[in-house]
Amino acid sequence: MSEKRERTRSEKAIRISLVVSIFVFLMKFTAWVYTGANSVLSDAAESFVHVFAVGFSTFGIYLSQKPPDSDHPYGHERIGFFAVGAEGALILVAALTICYQSIKGLIIGIEVFHIETGAGIIFVSALINLVLGSWLVRTGKREDNMIITGNGKHTLTDVYTSAGVLVTLFLISRTGLMFLDSVVAMAIAVYISVEGYRLLKYATTGLMDQSDIETDTCIRQVLDGETGEVMTGWHDLRHRSTGNTLWIEFHALFRAGIDLEEAHREATILEKKIMDKFRGNTVVTIHLEPEEVHVRHHRELRDGTEPRDKDS
């Protein structure tokens, strides 16, 4: 029941984000039509990209929550990394478009109109994004959903770009220096490029199964704390995250003479202790090994020979 409520919250959050993002883009596009300012255009372009990104994230939310099936035994959660990566790539495209328009404006010149009206529209849109982005980040962290969290951070980035546009329009209205419009627009492009790069890096790290240092340290502390007379050691630890699920596997060595039932009971207790250390879904796979022969068995496996009997 709890998992169903989490899915409902995530779906509700992404739907609200999509509707509000479309509305905010239309506001900024209207502001650009009124002013003709490149800085406003850069803000509108970033919001336009955001609409597509949220749309892709919406698809990612629904697909990631589908249960495992015969074609996808590990589930569909990794689509979340694609969603985050697509958002980062689209942000970079928007940054390049903004730079092009800004350089063009510096060369041929630009005239800005109806500054007060445009600034008022941008200010209201920034307030809407501030409320939405803060709520999305809190919701994403509470539900442990990287798509919602990433979407919230992008929304907050939009607030910063809007703030830069407001400062620019104010300066132009007071000084009449139109070139400031293009300069600030390029500065915004650089800023959102950094955010786009971070999202792409996060997506690439997840898709390449890069090990998380904090997770690794936590697992090793549990294993070291459980090593003693019954489980005498462990090796070949591997773990990866597919989004909301953490997959852990390792080999556990047990003392000589222990029967399979006792070893399995101890392994199950250890599995539960590891699972209790992490939020969300955690899947632990433990390969049980007798300590006195595990080295020989691994060597035979590497050599491609048949495992021999204990006494042979």
Helix intervals (H) in the chain = 2-35, 38-64, 79-108, 115-143, 146-175, 179-207, 213-226, 260-275, 294-303
Q: What is the pLDDT of residues 161-188, one digit of tens each?
A: 888 889 888 888 888 888 888 888 888 8
- Same domain, yes or no, for 175 and 224? no
**308 is a domain residue:** no
CB-based contact 155:49 (threshold 8 Å):
no
- The pLDDT score that the predictor gives to residue 312 is 47
Cα–Cα distance for residue pair 207/198, rounded to 1 Å: 14
From 173, 189, 207, give the residue that closes a domain: 207
Domain count, the chain: 2
Hey, what's the torsion of the CAs at 226, 231, 237, 242, to 10 degrees? -70
- The pLDDT score that the predictor gives to residue 310 is 52
Residue 236: closest CA among 274, 279, 289: 289
Q: What is the pLDDT of residues 79-126, one digit of tens each?
A: 778 877 877 888 888 788 888 877 877 887 777 888 889 999 999 999
> What residues of the chain score a pLDDT lower than 70?
1-7, 294-298, 300-312
From 186, 207, 228, give the residue that closes a domain: 207
Q: Tokens representing 218?
A: 């936590």
- Same domain, yes or no, for 291 and 145? no
For residue 142, what is the domain's CATH number?
Answer: 1.20.1510.10
- Same domain, yes or no, for 105 and 184? yes
169 class by beta-carbon count within 10 Å (0-12 exposed, 13-18 middle, 19+ buried) = buried
254 Rama class: left (phi>0) / alpha (psi -120 to 50) / beta? beta
**55 is a domain residue:** yes
Full residue range of the structural domain in which residue 14 is found: 2-207
From 207, 242, 264, give the residue that closes a domain: 207
**311 is a domain residue:** no
**14 is a domain residue:** yes
- Same domain, yes or no, for 232 and 189? no
**19 is a domain residue:** yes
**154 is a domain residue:** yes
Element (DSSP H or E) covering residue 289: strand 281-290
**160 is a domain residue:** yes
Hey, what's the torsion of the CAs at 67, 72, 75, 76, to 10 degrees? -100
- Same domain, yes or no, for 53 and 131? yes
- Same domain, yes or no, for 219 and 188? no
Cα–Cα distance for residue pair 30/40, rounded to 1 Å: 10
Q: Tokens representing 249?
A: 């596997």
**225 is a domain residue:** yes
- Name the 3-class secondary structure at 124: helix
Element (DSSP H or E) covering residue 305: none
- Same domain, yes or no, for 238 and 292? yes
- Same domain, yes or no, for 140 and 222? no
For residue 237, what is the domain's CATH number?
Answer: 3.30.70.1350
- Same domain, yes or no, for 199 and 222? no
- The pLDDT score that the predictor gives to residue 309 is 54
